[in-house]
DNA sequence: TTGACAATAGAATGAATGTTCGACTACAAT
DNA sequence: ATTGTAGTCGAACATTCATTCTATTGTCAA
């Protein structure tokens, strides 16, 4: 697209270094810093190549000013025009998953949630369900690590107290006294709960002691 | 809103001048330039107030470097009208993570993405970065399982070829011939790559054979 | 071969720039 | 009155930094 092709290896290197330095430091590098980073032993050579880049329209220089180099707009990765679309929904962030307690989901419809507890998510993450029947939980601790869900992750659920085979569900196991996230399989007169993590083994429970609280729609992790 | 109120008249003036100078010139002003613009007659006074602004968390300084001043993100006047209006962004879904190949990110400017390859995400998931510098990858297979990232997951990256300690990054290890997602730690003359999964052990690599491809912003999993 | 030119290295120069220190003022608290 | 602190000024100092000049090397065309 651009004329980066016609540039020398060193000039491309200078450009690349400029971008990362600017991004990291917030101000441009000196001629010497460019030289060290790109393996050029003489400031005059850096100066020479810098001027070449100015000729190519990729840089601008403020003469006799330290660090007086800037990337031309054509050299920056410019934001493309992005068209908006109204495709977000707000779901209640009702609390945290604690392995040793049932998930407390306000069962009532028309519940009123505080503005601060709402989570704005892309509609695609709701899997086609109405936002009113979706809620979110923040995972506390590493108890769900065998479901590849870590501390601080946010899980989106659809409220439901049943499950199809293969569904990923949050279940309260009153025999064990904990909530867990597993894949659900009805096998004869018992239920197999299969961890998401392939190296973990399944557990088997009695349907009477297995309270499904919701089906997992998505997992979101902010790093 | 912010604590600009507690700043002195001069400090506010310095901040204002910094913003316009940075915007006009593309690089930060010198201490003397700040002094002239704000009517301060002594470089030491500028230096003094600059340090006050650093204490207030509004500036960062790189000591003994010319023009080594940068605005903290909180100090920048955001184009809030634009940002607040939009709640979703579209980022390119450039492909898949394959453990045995470097991530192919179109580095060039003016790249045109197909509409079908765009992923619509909530703006909050971009961590404040411009959508133009964010890209998404779909994970294929279980190679990233020690980062708690499974088959089919979507990972959002910010394009960058460096990392701070503790960053979660995608790195290409040419000695091993694979791309991996790890937390990045610079330790002396080598780099420690720490898996996200707490039971996995770190690996150590030579900086020369460690090509950072991007920093992880978020992980999205649709069940 | 010769000449022109691009690319590079090394060193010297002078201006630009951040840092430090002593002294002074204004003001509030003790 | 005394003390302490924030803010200021001026000057000296020590580097950092861009610029410039000379010389060397390699390439390509005449």
Look at residue A115 and tell me whether its pLDDT is greater than 60: no
In a domain, B96, yes or no: yes
Helix axis angle, A9-25 to A43-55, nearest 10°: 90
Residue B84 touches chain A, beta carbons under 8 Å: no
Confidence of residue A1 (pLDDT cuts 50, 70, 90): very low
Q: Is residue B2 part of a domain?
A: no
Q: Pick from B21, B54, B75: which residue ends a domain?
A: B75
pLDDT of residue A45: 93
pLDDT greater at residue A171 or residue B108: A171
| Span A71-76, average pLDDT | 66
Q: What is the residue-averaged pLDDT of chain A?
A: 76
- Please indicate, yes or no, whether residues A42 and A131 belong to a single structural domain of this protein: no
- Domain annotation covers residue A83: no
Which is nearest to B91 in space by CA: B116, B115, B118? B118
Residue A108 lies in a domain: yes
Residues B171 and B91 in one domain: yes
Partner-chain contact B68 A27, CB within 8 Å: yes
pLDDT value at residue A73: 60
Are the CB atoms for B42 and B34 separated by under 8 Å?
A: no
Q: Are residues B208 and B118 in the same domain?
A: yes
Q: Name the band, by pLDDT with cuts 50, 70 and 90, for residue A95.
A: low
Residue of A27, A125, A128, A195 to mutate, testing the B interface (most B Cβ within 10 Å of its Cβ): A27
Tell me how far apart the alpha carbons of residues A66 and A46 are, in angstroms, rounded to a whole number: 14
Residue B87 backbone dihedrals phi, psi, to 5 degrees: -120, -10
Tell me the CATH number at A50: 1.10.10.10
Does residue B92 sit in the same domain as residue B201? yes
Nucleotide nearest to B45 (CA to C1'): D8
CA distances from A160 to A98, A190, A212 (A): 19, 20, 7
Structure confidence at residue A205 as a pLDDT band (50, 70, 90)? confident
Which residue range forms the structural domain that includes residue B21?
7-75
The rounded average pLDDT for each run of 10 residues, N- to C-terminus, in chain B (223 residues) is 60 84 86 89 90 86 89 57 51 66 49 55 76 81 76 86 87 77 86 80 83 87 82
Of A17, A37, A71, the residue that ends a domain is: A71
What is the reported pLDDT for B46?
92
Residue B134 lies in a domain: yes
Exactly one of B143, B159, B201, B218 is catalytic; which is it? B143
Residues A65, A52: Cα–Cα separation, whole Å? 18
Tell me, what's the pLDDT at A99? 54
The answer to whether position A182 is within a domain reads yes
Residue B114 belongs to some domain of the structure: yes
A169 lies in a domain? yes
Residue A108 is predicted with a pLDDT of 41
* Mean of all residue pLDDT scores within chain B: 76
Task: Identify the residue with better confidence: B131 or A18.
Answer: A18
Query: How far, in Å, is the CA of B147 from the C1' of nucleotide D8?
Result: 55
Ranges A67-76, A117-126, B207-216, most confident: B207-216
Q: A159 and A108, same structural domain?
A: yes
Please tell me whether residues B28 and B90 are part of one structural domain: no
Residue in chain A nearest B91 by alpha carbon: A82
Residue-level pLDDT at B6? 65
Q: In this structure, are B85 and B191 located in the same domain?
A: yes
Domain end (from B23, B43, B75) = B75
Tell me, yes or no, if B159 comes closer than 8 A to chain A by beta carbon.
yes
Q: Which residues in chain A (10-69) have CB-CB distances under 8 A to chain B?
A: 16, 20, 23-28, 30, 60, 62, 65-69
The pLDDT, as a whole number, for residue B168 is 87
Q: Across the interface, which of A20, A65, A122 has its CB nearest the CB of B120?
A: A122
The better pLDDT of the pair A214, B4 is held by A214
Quick check: B122 and A121 CB within 8 A? yes
Contacts of B89 in chain A (CB under 8 A): 82
Give the pairing of strands A203-205 and B203-205.
unpaired
Please calculate the CA angle A107-A111-A112 and round it to the nearest 5 degrees: 145
Q: Would the pLDDT of A110 be above 50?
A: no
Cα distances from A64 to residues A30, A67, A68, A69, A81, in angstroms, run 12, 9, 8, 10, 36
The gap between A42 CA and C12 C1' (Å) is 13
Alpha helices by DSSP H, listed for chain B, are 9-25, 31-38, 43-55, 80-85
- CB nearest to B108's CB, from A1, A26, A219: A1
Q: How many angstroms is C1' of D1 away from CA of B13?
A: 38
A122 forms beta bridges with A88
pLDDT of residue A79: 34
B121 to A122: CB separation less than 8 angstroms, yes or no: yes
pLDDT of residue A37 exceeding 50, the answer is yes
pLDDT of residue B48: 92
The confidence score (pLDDT) of residue B111 equals 43
The number of folded domains in chain B is 2
Q: Please tell me the least confidently modeled range out of A38-47, A145-154, B113-122.
A: B113-122
Q: At B149, which CATH number? A: 2.10.109.10
Residue bearing the bigger pLDDT, A177 or A181 = A181
B135 and B201 in a single domain? The answer is: yes
Same domain, B24 and B93: no
For residues B86 and B190, membership in a common domain is answered with yes
For the segment A19-47, the average pLDDT, to the nearest whole number, is 88
Q: Are residues B136 and B179 in the same domain?
A: yes
* Chain A hits for B64, Cβ within 8 Å: none
Closest nucleotide to A11: CA versus each C1': C7
A61, A92: one domain = no
pLDDT digits (tens, 9 = 90+) for B172-202: 887 777 778 888 998 888 889 888 776 778 8
Which nucleotides of strand C come closer than 7 angstroms to any CB of the protein? Answer: 7-12, 15-22
The yes-or-no answer on residue B76 being catalytic is no
- Give me the pLDDT at residue A116, please: 43
């Amino acid at each position: 697209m651009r004329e980066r092709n016609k540039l020398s290896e060193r000039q491309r290197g200078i450009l690349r270094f400029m971008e990362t330095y600017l991004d990291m430091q917030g101000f441009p590098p000196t001629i010497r810093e460019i030289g060290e980073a790109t393996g050029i032993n003489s400031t005059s050579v850096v100066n020479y190549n810098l001027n070449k880049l100015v000729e190519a329209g990729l840089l601008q220089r403020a003469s006799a000013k330290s660090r007086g180099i800037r990337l031309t707009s054509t050299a920056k990765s410019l934001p493309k025009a992005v068209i908006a679309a109204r495709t977000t929904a707000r779901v209640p962030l009702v609390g945290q998953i604690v392995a040793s307690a049932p998930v407390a989901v306000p069962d009532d419809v028309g519940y009123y949630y505080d503005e601060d507890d709402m989570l704005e998510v892309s509609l695609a993450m709701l899997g086609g369900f109405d936002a009113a029947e979706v809620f979110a939980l923040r995972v506390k601790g590493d108890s769900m690590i065998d479901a590849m869900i870590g501390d601080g992750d946010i899980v989106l659920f659809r409220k439901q107290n049943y499950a199809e085979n293969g569904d990923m569900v949050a279940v309260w196991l009153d025999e064990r006294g904990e909530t867990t996230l597993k894949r659900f399989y009805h096998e004869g007169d018992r239920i197999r709960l299969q961890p998401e993590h392939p190296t973990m083994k399944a557990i088997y429970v009695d349907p009477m002691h297995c309270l499904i609280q919701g089906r997992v729609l998505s997992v979101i992790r902010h790093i």
